[in-house]
Amino acid sequence: MTDPTPDDVPTVSCSRCDREWDLAYELDDLQVGNQALEQFALDHERHTGHFPDGVETWRADCRRCPETIQRLSENAARRWAETHARHTGHAIDLHHADDEATTRVEPP
């Protein structure tokens, strides 16, 4: 019989919490597959107010109203920015996750 728990389950650490977790729950119970790290990071931020180590987010800030979001993927942040700009006519600053660059998303 084979061991049902693989030895190579990815782990995530958080220096602010001074803890480390494996992603077996996300892989086995939630069955989110390749989205395990993203799911853990989002859940961690939701419950603690911060992301685990090494997780960088894309941030979209409206230039006219207080709307702002953080997303782990560029596509999700850009989609929100474009949708908000389209519906409100507001320009959005899209802050890149891995550097200090910012892209302006203008309304159509």
Strand partners, 69: 60
* Distance, CA of 15 to CA of 80 (rounded, Å): 30
Which residues, including other chains, have CB under 8 Å from residue 87's CB and lie 6 or more apart? none
Place of tokens 């650490």: 13
Are residues 36 and 68 part of one domain? no
> Across residues 67-93, what is the average pLDDT?
95
Q: Which of 3-7, 32-36, 104-108 shows the lowest per-residue confidence on average (mean pLDDT)?
A: 3-7
Structural domain contains residue 74: yes
To the question of pTM greater than 0.75 for the whole model, the response is no
Are residues 100 and 65 part of one domain? yes
* Distance, CA of 15 to CA of 100 (rounded, Å): 23
Residue type, 43: D
- pLDDT bracket for residue 6 (50, 70, 90): low
Distance of CA 71 to the CA centre of its chain: 4
Average pLDDT, the chain: 91
Report the residue count for the chain: 108
Are residues 67 and 39 part of one domain? no
According to the model, what pLDDT value does residue 2 have? 44
Residue 92's domain comprises: 58-105
Number of structural domains found in the chain: 2
* Angle subtended at Cα 38 by Cα 34 and Cα 43, rounded to the nearest 5 degrees: 130
> Across residues 70-84, what is the average pLDDT?
94
- pLDDT bracket for residue 1 (50, 70, 90): very low
